[in-house]
Amino acid sequence: MVRIEVDGVAVEALPGQDLLAACLAAGIYVPHLCSHPDLPAEGGCRMCTVEVDGHDRPVQACEVTVADGMVVRTKTERVEHIRNVALELMLAPHPKDCTSCRAYLNCELQALMQYTGVAHSRLREIEKETARIGASNSIISKEMFRCIQCTRCIRACGDLRGVSILEIRHRDGEAYVGTVDDLPHDQTDCRFCSACVEVCPTGTLMDPPGLFREDVPRAQALVPCRNGCPAHTDIPLYLQLAGEGRYAESVSVFREKLTFPLSLGYVCSHNCESECKRGTMDAPISIRAVKRFAVENDAEQTWRERTWVAEPTGKRVAVVGGGPAGLTAAYYLTRKGHEVTVLERRSRPGGMMTWGIPRYRLPQEVIDSEIATLQEIAPFTIETNVRVTDLAPLREQFDAVLVATGAQAGKRPPGYDPALSNVVDGVDACRRWNDGERPRLGATIAVLGGGNVAFDCARSAKRFGATDVHVLCLEPFDKMLADPEEVREALAEGITVHASVTLTPTVADQRVTGLDVTDVRSFAFTADGLQLDLVEGTTRELVADTVIVATGQQSDLTPEFGVELGRNNLVVTGADARTSVEGVFAAGDSVTGTSTVINAIALARAAASSLDRYLGGDGDIEDTYYERPEHDPAIGTIPNFSQLTRTDCRTAEAVATETSRCLHCELRPDLSTVKYWTDAVYQSGAQQGVRA
Amino acid sequence: MSDMEADVIIIGGGASGITAAVAAAEKGASVIVLEKGSTTGGAANMGMGFFAVESKQQKAQMVDLTQEAAFKFLMEYTHWSVDARLVRKYIAQSADTITWLEKMGVEFLGAYKYFETSKQTWHVVKTAGSDKPAERAASNLYKALTEQAEDLGVQILYRTKATKIVMDDGAVSAVELVGEDGVAKTAECNAVIVATGGFGNSPQMIHDYLGFEWGKDLHSFRIPGVDGDGLSMLWEAGGGHTKATMELTYTTPGVTDVYKTISETMRQPNLMVNLDGKRFIDEEIMNNTVYTGNSIARQRERVAFTIVTDSIIDDYRAKGLDYVTFHHNIKTVEKWDKEVEAYVSGAGVEASGLSDLHNDEQKHTKNFWVCESLKEVAEVTGIDYESLVATVEEYNQLCATTDDQFFKPYKYLRPVTGTTYYVARHFPAGYGSLGGVAVNDEMNVLDEAGLPIEGLYASGTDACGIFGDSYCFYLPGNTMGFAINSGRMAGYNANAYIESF
């Protein structure tokens, strides 16, 4: 420990520490601007000027290493004069446009003006010719006229990241911060990691408005893929490992959160990809395909060696419903030591994975093998062909119950009576196809709805012999709920998509004999129901042999089941997945309505944790199958980084290329948050009598 | 389930909030301030100083404005439509607030006018190392208040957002908030002072309460964080609505604040017309930006145009500009040619200060043109051509004689003659909203029935209803003056309320 004296106060510093860091760590505020805790000292801004006994002239605290017995004065007239003049020099070319700057109140320069009292430069205002060089892009908003040349961005890009696309440039006798050859970022080696934005003390480099969500804690929002995944899978890490060919380690990372990773590799709704920042540049990272490739190429499955099953607790749990939610909950509850029985109404488990999603999208063997894996590790019982219509007996036999019955019942718009002979619900059609039935639907099929189920129906119908298949939905083409891939494939298969339309069925002899199709300019759901703005004169008739209604599903639970139900017969849950009945929990589509496999897994994990706590456990179901090394902040450069296009991820090389496109958003939260003079840590220092 | 507690919780650490914190703590209350930004002072950091009457600076400068005269002036200006008791208390306290702040180490340069015919009430804060009025000078005043608050034990939570004022049996009991870590918490208290600065950054509220469409017919400041959340919380807690207004000014989007010489030159008292090609204003009042903003806002499509010619520019080259403002401090047109060239070449799009908030179309909309003829002026601006020609002809005649239309003084009558026409399009702008919640003369929030809500106070811009329909630029420094003084009152009164238990 090195002992120094700062403004008459004894301070202990670390050997080798610079004086600025020592003062700040001790709660003594010394103004600074170019200095940043994660970057090498620059000594350029002169704001951290202090006097050290034995030195003739004031020194910059960031450039002096502490030494025993050092006596420092941070608030003399002399140092304040130097700081103030230095700040005036910075302010001379800085625009006075604070009121239109998004950094307002989060600007270190503004806070320094406040701290020093220097709001005004006595120098003539300088208007630099070079102040407007540098164009914004979708990831980095650049307003270079606000730049004070502290060079933090240059050091972040170079010293920290090893990318080095920023530099001090010179033109017409002016110096400015710019990219190499003043090129737009996508023509440089820029990796779009946004470290430059994070360290910028002013409103020069900023995140474009709306780039990150503001309704979650910032550290979470800064990694959009991981935040976007309902299970918060550590996506950046598993992408990197897969890219390096370390498939077992990659799988270990997502196995920590996912029970059906291979199935998800086929059909996940991949909100992670929708949120991926690279998507604003060209196309998101193909995260789903990387996951699938990693599972398919993981020969070792090392995660199995690190998993655990707790000692038996003697508690018994019934899980009603053997879909992704029920099976996930059963898996974790079994591993927590409880004896779990899954009660599945159909002949095989898997829920909508087995009975809803068509086989061309997700092979049955994949589902079966993943269920088998879960049961190998956590031997829970699955009883098939058991339909539970009343919870009461289960409450007698089991210590707790989890309801995961899904959303099984088709929901029809008005005008499509269940008695109509040629109208079927999409969910029923899919179930029958997957059960091996080949119903005669005719040559022309109209599918109502714009979600994945509608496209599953349309594409299945096409495969099973229909020649003329139409998908019709109210949403405009770019707002359809289905995955864009599904829509693309459907179009490629010759299916006709009618977006932004409304339909009126003509009924005769218990059949829909035709559909009047009318274009819709816009629509809204109001308190008075659906409001449509029709395009006059666009009505035409579509005659179909069969109409498949795929406009949503609801729970088929009834009040007799024994828990409180809400809209669409969905189970009402409070905090922690509890239902209205003591000891009964719920998760999955029976709570949310038709959703996704990944959502079911995420909800089931939360419900399992909650249920375990109810049974006296600690609720901890977190796994660590891969020990995280510290992040390496130096990502370096990759040739033609911005030009790398999304790959199909069918080969190891393609996966390596694809994962190399990652912007490494996960590195940004590692950067230190800069503290302002107002920060409590300095104010408490001040209260100890440090303030002059 | 309380995570922290204090006697008084202040929502917003701007001019009013931080002043209220010092005032309440000075009287012995424990205080927590919830501030969304990383530093205090809020929108007032951009200001230079504030209003006071009968201060020692004014006495030293021989300003003969008395409290009585200022009071009567403001009440006349507002046609007695505002709370006279509150106005009287505010004016009475104003000079003492200057002294109060001086004791905390704040220095003032003196009392200033905002424009020629305004009163000398604007007490501009001195900045380090300079004895000239400077933009952003007031930021330094908030350092003094912040340090004073810290010394008095006030706890300031930065990057912290209040979300709800919790009421219990008609009285304030707690504030719900989201901390810097993103975690929701509850803080118990006996009194809340809301001082969040209005809704200048909420296009939705601007639309709903003021009837403007931001970015289209209004280009007001959008200080980050001034989102109207304080007013929403006050209303939700039962606070009564009052009519909100905006301190209107006017602006040339993409030009003002970037091309300062163009902007200031096009704001000189020269011919101003509307889309119908008609003159509608005595341009002499263009230095009263509120009146000009009001006047533009009632023209068709809420736009107006000033037109100058090369011969007028030559005149300015020789004599300097007519109107000079402290804050922009452009006295000459020496940078005219350079700025015009830069603007016309489009070099400023990225740098216009519009890039973040305006959409692409707005960003690339030109609001300043260089034309060869009145025909071209009409073409690029959409001004009615024939009417414009007639107006220019008529105006040029007035310039040769006298303005018997709107009585503009002769010295500002410069004929529109020459070979090059410069045209700027002006829109209503503004600093932010004013008012919205009902308060009494103790800054105690009133419910819809006009009865005080126990423990709930509002101050500063959220509660500023003392200017009537238009901000009173004749008594400059009033927004900050009201923010600081009403904050001080709210702090004292909240403490007195707690002591009454």
Q: What is the pLDDT of residues B217-268, one digit of tens each?
A: 999 988 888 999 999 999 999 999 999 999 899 999 888 877 889 999 999 9
Q: What is the pLDDT of residue A686?
A: 47
- pLDDT above 50 for A690: no
**A393, burial (CB in 10 Å: exposed 0-12, middle 13-18, buried 19+):** exposed
Pick from A119, A218, A219: which is nearest to B127 by CB?
A: A119
CATH of the domain spanning B4-244+435-499: 3.50.50.60
Pick from B127, B140, B224: which is nearest to A104 by CB?
A: B224
- pLDDT above 50 for A674: yes
Mutation pick from A83, A97, A100 vs chain B, by most beta carbons of B within 10 Å, is A100
Name the minimum distance, in Å, from the CA of A36 to any CA of chain B.
Answer: 17
Going by pLDDT thresholds of 50, 70 and 90, the confidence category of residue B347 is: low
CA A185 vs CA A153, A164, A243, A285, A682: distances in Å: 14, 12, 24, 19, 38
Say whether B130 and A131 touch across the interface (CB within 8 A): no
Name the minimum distance, in Å, from the CA of B182 to any CA of chain A.
Answer: 4
CA B388 vs CA B317, B420, B421: distances in Å: 26, 16, 13
Name the minimum distance, in Å, from the CA of B161 to any CA of chain A.
Answer: 12
pTM assigned to the model: 0.87
Say whether A96 and B354 touch across the interface (CB within 8 A): no
Give chain A's mean pLDDT: 93
Q: What is the pLDDT of residue B258?
A: 77
Say whether A683 and B150 touch across the interface (CB within 8 A): yes
User: Is the minimum CB–CB distance between B128 and chain A shorter than 8 Å?
Assistant: yes
Name the minimum distance, in Å, from the CA of B364 to any CA of chain A.
Answer: 15
User: Is the minimum CB–CB distance between B183 and chain A shorter than 8 Å?
Assistant: yes
Going by pLDDT thresholds of 50, 70 and 90, the confidence category of residue A65 is: very high
pLDDT in tens, A100-115: 788 998 999 999 999 9
**Phi, psi (rounded to 5 degrees) for A613:** -65, -40
**Judged by CB atoms within 8 Å, which residues 423-442 of B form the interface with A?**
none
- pLDDT above 80 for B118: yes
**Which residues, other chains included, contact B297 with Cβ-Cβ below 8 Å and sequence gap of 6+?**
B217, B248, B428
Name the minimum distance, in Å, from the CA of B337 to any CA of chain A.
Answer: 14
* Secondary structure of A142-202 in HEC code, one letter for each residue: ECHHHCCCCCHHHHHHHHHCCCCCEEEEEECCEEEEEEHHHCCHHHCCCCCCCHHHHHCCC
Helix locations, B36-107, DSSP H: 56-60, 67-77, 84-103
Q: Are A269 and A483 in contact (CB under 8 A)?
A: yes
Residues of chain B neighbouring A676 (CB-CB closer than 8 A): 38-39, 158
Say whether A105 and B39 touch across the interface (CB within 8 A): yes
pLDDT in tens, B26-40: 999 999 999 999 999
Rounded percentage of chain A residues whose pLDDT exceeds 70:
98
Which of the pair, A417 or A685, is modelled with greater confidence?
A: A417
Say whether A106 and B224 touch across the interface (CB within 8 A): yes
Say whether A118 and B132 touch across the interface (CB within 8 A): no
- pLDDT above 90 for B353: no
Q: What is the pLDDT of residue A205?
A: 96
Q: What is the pLDDT of residue A692?
A: 35
Q: Which two tokens stand for residue A6?
A: 């700062």
**Which residues, other chains included, contact A437 with Cβ-Cβ below 8 Å and sequence gap of 6+?**
none
Q: What is the pLDDT of residue A691?
A: 40
Mutation pick from B350, B352, B355 vs chain A, by most beta carbons of A within 10 Å, is B350
Say whether B135 and A120 touch across the interface (CB within 8 A): yes
Q: What is the pLDDT of residue B38?
A: 92
Residues of chain B neighbouring A105 (CB-CB closer than 8 A): 36-39, 41-42, 45, 224-225
Pick from B38, B42, B46: which is nearest to A676 by CB?
A: B38
Say whether A110 and B143 touch across the interface (CB within 8 A): no
Say whether A98 and B39 touch across the interface (CB within 8 A): no
- CA–CA separation, B123 and B95 (whole Å): 10
Q: Which two tokens stand for residue A478?
A: 């770019």
Q: What is the pLDDT of residue B348?
A: 54
Q: Any idea where the domains of chain B sit in the sequence?
A: 4-244+435-499, 250-430
Q: Are A535 and A521 in contact (CB under 8 A)?
A: yes
Residue type, B156: I
Say whether B353 and A117 touch across the interface (CB within 8 A): no
Find out if CATH 3.90.700.10 is the number for domain B250-430: yes
**A472, burial (CB in 10 Å: exposed 0-12, middle 13-18, buried 19+):** buried
Say whether B42 and A217 touch across the interface (CB within 8 A): no
User: Is the minimum CB–CB distance between B143 and chain A shorter than 8 Å?
Assistant: yes
Pick from B129, B183, B224: which is nearest to A105 by CB?
A: B224
- pLDDT above 90 for A684: no
Say whether B45 and A118 touch across the interface (CB within 8 A): no
Kindly state the average pLDDT of the residues A234-256.
97
- CA–CA separation, B55 and B51 (whole Å): 10
**Judged by CB atoms within 8 Å, which residues 232-271 of B form the interface with A?**
257-258
Pick from A114, A118, A143: which is nearest to B142 by CB?
A: A114
The helix/strand/coil state of A662 is: coil
- pLDDT above 80 for B326: no
A132 to chain B: closest CA residue: B351
- pLDDT above 80 for A681: no
Other beta carbons less than 10 A from residue B256's beta carbon: 27
A678 to chain B: closest CA residue: B39
User: Is the minimum CB–CB distance between B450 and chain A shorter than 8 Å?
Assistant: no
Which is it for strands A49-52 and A59-60: parallel, antiparallel or unpaired?
A: antiparallel
Residues of chain B neighbouring A132 (CB-CB closer than 8 A): 347-348, 350-351
pLDDT in tens, B390-423: 999 999 999 999 999 999 999 999 999 999 999 9
Q: What is the pLDDT of residue A689?
A: 44
pLDDT in tens, A280-334: 999 999 999 999 999 999 999 999 999 999 999 999 999 999 999 999 999 999 9
- CA–CA separation, A448 and B471 (whole Å): 58
Say whether A679 and B158 touch across the interface (CB within 8 A): yes
**Judged by CB atoms within 8 Å, which residues 342-371 of B form the interface with A?**
347-348, 350-351, 353-357
B150 to chain A: closest CA residue: A683
Give chain B's mean pLDDT: 93
Rounded percentage of chain A residues whose pLDDT exceeds 90:
84
Q: Which two tokens stand for residue B220?
A: 């007001």
Q: What is the pLDDT of residue A162?
A: 97
- pLDDT above 90 for A683: no
Pick from B37, B128, B146: which is nearest to A118 by CB?
A: B128
Helix locations, B259-346, DSSP H: 260-265, 289-297, 310-319, 336-344
Going by pLDDT thresholds of 50, 70 and 90, the confidence category of residue A397 is: very high
Q: What is the pLDDT of residue B135?
A: 81
Kindly state the average pLDDT of the residues A378-385.
97
Long-range contacts of range A9-15, CB-CB < 8 Å, 24 or more positions apart? A9/A688, A9/A689, A9/A690, A13/A66, A14/A66, A15/A66
